[in-house]
Amino acid sequence: MTQEQSTPSGPDLTRGVAPGELVDGKLLGHVGDQDVLLVRTSEGLFAIDAHCSHYHGPLAEGLVVGNTVRCPWHHACFDLRTGEATRAPALSALACWLVEERDGQIFVREKREPQKVASPVRSDAPEKIVIVGGGAAGFAAAEMLRRREFRGSIVMLSKEAAPPVDRPNLSKDYLAGSAPEDWLPLRPDDFYREADIELRLSADVSSIDPKARQLVTSGGIVRYDRLLLATGAEPVHLAIPGARQLPVRTLRSLTDCRAIIEDAKGAHRALVVGASFIGLEVAASLRTRGIDVHVVAPEAIPMERILGADMGRFVRALHEEHGVVFHLGDTVAAIDGRRATLESGESLTIDFAVVGVGVKPRLALAQAAGLAVDRGVVVDAHLETSAPGIYAAGDIARWPDPHSGENIRVEHWVVAERQGQTAARNMLGDREVFDAVPFFWSQHYDVPINYVGHAEHWDDIAIDGDIRARDCLVQYKRNGRVLAAASIYRDLASLQAELAME
């Protein structure tokens, strides 16, 4: 994650550089002790903070598209003219500097004043916007509303006890013990007060009345002019004896994660049920804590359904190199205290178990309110549900994806945030179509896997590079068309694949 800069990179840009020093229109240098990226586009020269405001990704290794630069790590996008983070997962703007070209040299001058990025809120903007959900989509929507200078009331209702956190970290660095808890909040507590966002925690919304434009929470009735449903998904529990008893955990919230960390203290062996992203990220984090990990899953090859057999075999081998023991083609029949019995008859003594066998979207509220639901809350291209004025975003939303031509629902952090941002703008009266190419990442030890696009079925997989050497771009195709691409340490190619799909 965040790395402290010790020595600034490249030339001192205040002393001037020759135009020829820019390679592919970019040059990484510094101003004082800060790394600065100098970029030439068809509109001119720009200088911007060289590190992404998400996890500090190196923008010099990213892709310049028009007047923007995209981060190589998780595809955030920044406007080079203003520094604005125009696409999640980055939410904070970057600093920009003035640039001057004189006597055949390029000089980076003083820092520019932060630019106003908001376009004015329309006069018919709603007075009160309520957001149900304190996760990726809900938070990104609230932040965007204020970024757009919406001055009306924002109420954010979240069932969770903690303010919005960086959920992907809960199975990665934080669970592994390598990230402190203060990295988790998406914003410090005082952000909500300063931005005048009324964040109500441990607030359970029990029903919505679309006609009366109000909803019922544990604290009473809340009226709204526009409503965003961003209730996310919840872990599926095992339907076996002992599945709901301790020490059997699922992982969605910070509370869940803290409980697993407590279980891990002094534990010798953990059972992980499920060999998909959450299960295997948890396995990696627990191995980092020195705990023996046994993974039980019914499939023959982990992640084959999403990444194909070759990537799946690589992921398995990677975990085995780190000491994970797999029990594939098997399931857990019962857990009785510290004894887990597998369907095959094998029995394991464990200290605790983490179940990662998938999630289901939380649709109950939408269903009871009479909204159209089809394995997700059905939304149109603007993310509006079948009830006018009610929008949905994130893990619950099934939207018309212009790239695949299908109505899809995904469970990706970046998609949830970007949908929250689009829904926010549309609640203010914009008519923005949600057309972002889906993107997710996953991290296993030191190996990041990036995935862009959406391929539920494919008839061909093209591998460029070498998966086992951790240097590859794997393309999933149907009828010759690339639907999605997974990559390991081919960040630029992943960005280019995204651009091609756009």
Ligand X SMILES: Cc1cc2nc3c(=O)[nH]c(=O)nc-3n(C[C@H](O)[C@H](O)[C@H](O)COP(=O)(O)OP(=O)(O)OC[C@H]3O[C@@H](n4cnc5c(N)ncnc54)[C@H](O)[C@@H]3O)c2cc1C
Which residue stretch of 54-62, 122-130, 432-440, 451-459 sits at the interface with ligand FES (rule: CB under 6 A)? 54-62
Q: How far apart are CA 345 and CA 359, in angstroms?
A: 27
Restricted to residues 246-305, the positions that interact with ligand FES (CB under 6 A) are: none
The residues, ordered by sequence, that sit 6+ positions from 230 with a Cβ below 8 Å of its Cβ are 131, 132, 133, 135, 136, 137, 138, 141, 392, 393, 394, 396, 416, 420
Among 46, 55, 97, 174, binds ligand FES (CB under 6 A): 55
Q: Starting at the earlier edge strand, list the strands of the sheet with 26-31.
A: 26-31, 34-41, 44-49, 96-102, 105-111
In 3D, which of 411, 456, 85, 53 has the Cα closest to residue 230?
411
Q: CA 317, 323, 329: angle at the middle one, nearest 5?
A: 60
Q: Which C-beta is closer to ligand FES: that of 263 or that of 498?
A: 498
Restricted to residues 422-481, the positions that interact with ligand X (CB under 6 A) are: 440-442
Total count of residues recorded for the chain:
502
- Hey, what are 465's tokens? 């590079």
Q: Which C-beta is closer to ligand X: that of 137 or that of 240?
A: 137
Cβ–Cβ < 8 Å for 329, 340: no
Min CB(33)–ligand X separation in Å: 31
Which residue stretch of 21-29, 198-206, 240-248, 261-269 sits at the interface with ligand X (rule: CB under 6 A)? 198-206
Chain centroid to CA 242: how far?
32
Q: Which C-beta is closer to ligand X: that of 28 or that of 175?
A: 175
Among 413, 424, 484, 498, binds ligand X (CB under 6 A): 413
Question: Rounded to 10 degrees, what is the CA torsion of 394, 308, 492, 137?
Answer: 10
By CB neighbour count within 10 A (0-12 exposed, 13-18 middle, 19+ buried), where does 345 fall?
Answer: exposed
Q: How far apart are CA 451 and CA 441, in angstroms?
A: 6
Min CB(67)–ligand FES separation in Å: 18
Which residue stretch of 191-199, 230-238, 305-313, 475-483 sits at the interface with ligand X (rule: CB under 6 A)? 230-238
Q: Which C-beta is closer to ligand FES: that of 73 or that of 192?
A: 73
One DSSP character per residue, 300-340 reads SSTTHHHH-HHHHHHHHHHHHHTT-EEEET--EEEEETTEE
Q: With CB cut-offs between 5 and 8 Å by kind, which of ligand FES, ligand X, none does residue 57 bind? A: ligand FES
Restricted to residues 64-83, the positions that interact with ligand FES (CB under 6 A) are: 71, 73-74, 76
Judged by CB under 6 A, how many residues of this single chain contact ligand FES? 10
- Which DSSP symbol is given to 72? T
| Measured CA distances, 380 to 125, 131, 154, 383, 427 (Å) | 20, 18, 23, 5, 13
Q: Which C-beta is closer to ligand FES: that of 399 or that of 413?
A: 413
Min CB(92)–ligand FES separation in Å: 11
Q: Which C-beta is closer to ligand FES: that of 90 or that of 295?
A: 90
Among 13, 31, 90, 215, binds ligand FES (CB under 6 A): 90
Q: With CB cut-offs between 5 and 8 Å by kind, which of ligand X, ligand FES, none does residue 132 bind? A: ligand X
Q: Which C-beta is closer to ligand X: that of 231 or that of 404?
A: 231
Judged by CB under 6 A, how many residues of this single chain contact ligand X? 36
Restricted to residues 169-188, the positions that interact with ligand X (CB under 6 A) are: 170-171
Q: Which C-beta is closer to ligand X: that of 62 or that of 133?
A: 133
Min CB(28)–ligand FES separation in Å: 15
| Measured CA distances, 478 to 310, 460, 462 (Å) | 18, 6, 11
Contact residues toward ligand X (CB under 6 A) are: 132-138, 157-160, 167-168, 170-171, 203-205, 230-232, 251-252, 278, 362, 365, 394-395, 411-414, 416, 440-442
Contact residues toward ligand FES (CB under 6 A) are: 52, 54-55, 57, 71, 73-74, 76, 89-90
